[in-house]
Structure 1
């Protein structure tokens, strides 16, 4: 029967089916092309990892671990046993943790306080100070140590000025070469690393909550404790953990300002490798320090991810 007399049979149906088939074929071809590009990109990334990360990162780390497991008769844990059973090593770890917590804690508190002043109490030149702090993180750490020497050393400008003003025989600061100078230099250098993530967290605050708390009669300290800190703690925690991580791995300041009595884990590893020529012991200490650093970095990534998720929920 002709399609003119049967409404269920439409002349355009075969054309529509053909168009749909073409669209499906095009979609399948596009998906296949996307998969090919993804595989090609993964191949390039793997090639880059093999060429660049292999000889520069993976191979040295593998060699470090194998060296730490090298004993008199092949693979063993002799170097780790000697490292942890040595009283000097325990003293080194204690000194490292003491300098770490003292420096990073003070730097974190100072960084958060400075960020709060720059954000909530802006003053003329606050933007310039913020830009300087951003630039300051690019400076090498040992430069801060030498700056302190040029200021407070025996021939430093501040020492000479005090000597002339107060008619003193000597005005050098005895604390500089030791734990006091190391903590001061690390606080000065690592405080800006806390300022930036804290400012980023403050920028995400809903200021209507802060204004509402102030309108209800809350003091500045109460607003900070009840409103600002609970909302901004992921950024503050991320900056604090980053400060601890960088302070743990500090070497330049310790090498310049540390005395013979202030031996931390990085200095002990350097001394074992270059002075004592005990490479397995140095490798064992390096692996221990690497484990500490990776643990802090994993905690930093977790807190930073939570901060990013909170920023996304706020949007």
Structure 2
């Protein structure tokens, strides 16, 4: 009796298993056409998205909006691909309604938003940067400790090639919320350097010589005109600031600055204008015009004239004082 009951239970389990397998086979056979149609629809949407992306890339190629076209094309492709996925799912699973998928997508997007807050922030900032275009590809910018040429503006990062040949990836969220200096925004850029002249020299003549020199340097623009203005009465010099305009790119700025400084140094020396270095003057209690030379003609740093006074040492001066070597001062 027990063997009969056991055999009946086994037969029932086998029958149930075969019935389940049969149902799965029937469902698979009926599902295959839907699967094929869904895959075809998804591939079709993906191909359309890819075509839109290529069209956007070609439509903006070579222009200032090239990166905008790339990003918008990429977004269009992603959107069409997602739409194709939703349509394919509803075709393959007719019981699933589109409204259910959108509801699930909304809940998922909130969860994804919290989980990937920084990534989404950089993504949205990148879209706004590309649309507003505060700077473009090829512009030279300064952002915090990074300075260089903008190579790419991606949806998440901006790629900067620094002047020393390194590549910096800067999150777009930081660029969008912080100050950025665009050196090449207007095409020209002003540079300056301070030149110190002696107090005994004619400051007006020195300023005129500096301006004349600036006009002879290749790369210095005629307009806006170069200028030289006095800015300080320093400890040992009158400081005159030379200011000039050049092309805004860094290599031009540095090259012209080198030529300007070298030309000013040579011209000032040839014109007899003193370029003093910081000096200290030590006066002895018996120092007179006779022993120290004609101070009305003496220049900072070194006496002028064809026969300057002979140099004096402190030891020699002390040795000539009354009472030196045991002599009687009276």
Report TM bin, short chain.
Answer: under 0.3
Greater per-residue strand proportion = 2
Greater per-residue helix proportion = 1
Select the structure of larger CA radius of gyration.
2
**TM-score normalized with structure 1 length:** 0.23
